[in-house]
Amino acid sequence: MSELTTHLDLPVGVDALAAARQVTKAALTAWGLGDPQWVDDAVMIADELVANAVRHGGGCLRLQIRATDGRVTIAAVDGSAVVPRRREPDGDGGRGLVP
């Protein structure tokens, strides 16, 4: 399988979430990857990554999706120079970097 990639510069704010869900579903479906349940799970992951970038990041947002050798990588990139750090989980989150 050759590498398939797509990326999207997202609008800042909550509109980024809908755009990320739409692009993730469209790309994975067009690439013929996974069954509908798998695609729905990937869409949920993209939504969570972008929500975290909106909430904790800053600046421009970009969604990147890559498929290579049967693996799919979904990444949300923000313009913040602050490196993510682990924190103690609480009722408001903090579980994202826990192994």
What is the model's pTM? 0.84
Is residue 89 within 8 Å of 21, Cβ to Cβ? no
Q: What pLDDT is attached to residue 14? A: 77
CB neighbours of residue 70 within 10 Å: 7
Q: What pLDDT is attached to residue 98? A: 57
Is residue 10 within 8 Å of 52, Cβ to Cβ? no
Q: What pLDDT is attached to residue 29? A: 94
